[in-house]
A and B are shown apart, each in its own frame.
Chain A
């Protein structure tokens, strides 16, 4: 997958899993916190994304557990997933740095009379 095709929900799911294996609701909570409450993933959307990322080899199921009578399926980031996330993070960092530099040069430009 080309890094410039990565959408924000995908980025947030991969970021959530970068800290270790997580179950679905934990991924939703982590994405909510990381995006400052902007991205509230719904269960259907999350599972569609996880199915796709599993097919692409970026994440993998990492076991099931039953807690309070509810099944929790865990997922973990694979090595290609970590690589894709790192590439995207560097791309966003570079874009942000460029934007901030441009803004800084705008701030010091003398006003035209």
Chain B
């Protein structure tokens, strides 16, 4: 009986990385067998616990690369940013009853329930997740955001072959990246988290609203594609987010606030990717894109080395 139980526990322990098992497998097996009296099978709860902690051990290198303080700060900023974009677009672009066309002869799109398109559902998920997280239901909110990622992938996959109205693929990639960054950390985990979250949300709300009202009449129905291309990516707020994040990263590096530097650098990666794709789309050379990427990579690497105590010293030999 014990041999069969031991074999089952050893199978459950395969969730752990090989190196961890080499160091600890016999010791944890001893604990498991000590706790298993008159049983020939592990309990389901034990197997789940081993699977969850084994996966966690496998993800530890990621944890070392992105410490929890960096992920938590990036999570606060990503939540504020994503909510700001989602809230404005939900009300000003996707909420069908408010978006009446100034040219009544143009037929309105079929829509999805009370929304002008599927983007309305995605933005509703974001707004709901935000409300859940600020109300203290952080885990549920984060899972909701994780669930929005496959939903966005489905939208990109299916909408190209159907008549579905949806935000452009780049916009879905941006919202997906923000959802992932929010879920990687613990938003509002610290007492000081409220200020960056509120600032990120308010600045985003203000910039998207400003971009919206200065580009189109508020009551004009714009499609999801127009809203993102014209208002956020194009001449709108998108580039400003990237510049704001790079500025925040630079200030943080000068002030040696490495968790803020890491958070701003992490958050700027998806926006940088989007800006580069736009540069390629608008006919700029790949060389320029490569140079921008290289400068960014060198900047991040130099700051990371600096944070680890390395210094580049220019010394006169003679």
Contact = CB atoms under 8 A, between A and B. Distances in A.
B34 interface: yes
A23 to B, nearest CB: 8
A70 B35 CA distance: 12
B31 A28 contact: yes
Interface in B13-39: 24, 26-35
Interface stretch (A7-15, A43-51, A84-92, A97-105): A43-51
Interface stretch (B51-59, B138-146, B154-162): B51-59
Q: What is the predominant secondary structure among interface residues of chain B facing chain A?
A: helix
Contact of B29 (A23, A45, A51, A71): A71
Contacts, number: 56
Complex A-B, nearest 8 residue pairs according to Cβ-Cβ distance, in ascending order: A44-B53, A24-B31, A73-B27, A25-B34, A70-B30, A42-B49, A44-B49, A71-B26
Contact of B49 (A24, A45, A64, A70): A45
18 contacts: A24-B28, A24-B30, A24-B31, A24-B34, A25-B34, A43-B35, A43-B46, A43-B49, A44-B28, A44-B50, A44-B52, A44-B53, A47-B27, A47-B53, A48-B53, A70-B34, A71-B26, A73-B27
Nearest to A48: B53
A21 interface: no
Nearest to B189: A5
B49 A28 contact: no
Q: What is the predominant secondary structure among interface residues of chain A facing chain B?
A: helix
Interface of A: 23-25, 28, 42-48, 51, 64, 70-73
Given A70-B29, A73-B27, A42 B45 contact: yes
Contacts of A71: 26-27, 29-30
Nearest to A24: B31
A98 to B, nearest CB: 19
Contacts of A24: 27-28, 30-31, 34
Contacts of B45: 42
Given A44-B52, A71-B27, 16 more contacts: A23-B31, A24-B27, A24-B28, A25-B35, A42-B49, A43-B31, A44-B46, A44-B49, A46-B31, A47-B24, A47-B28, A48-B53, A51-B57, A64-B27, A72-B27, A72-B30
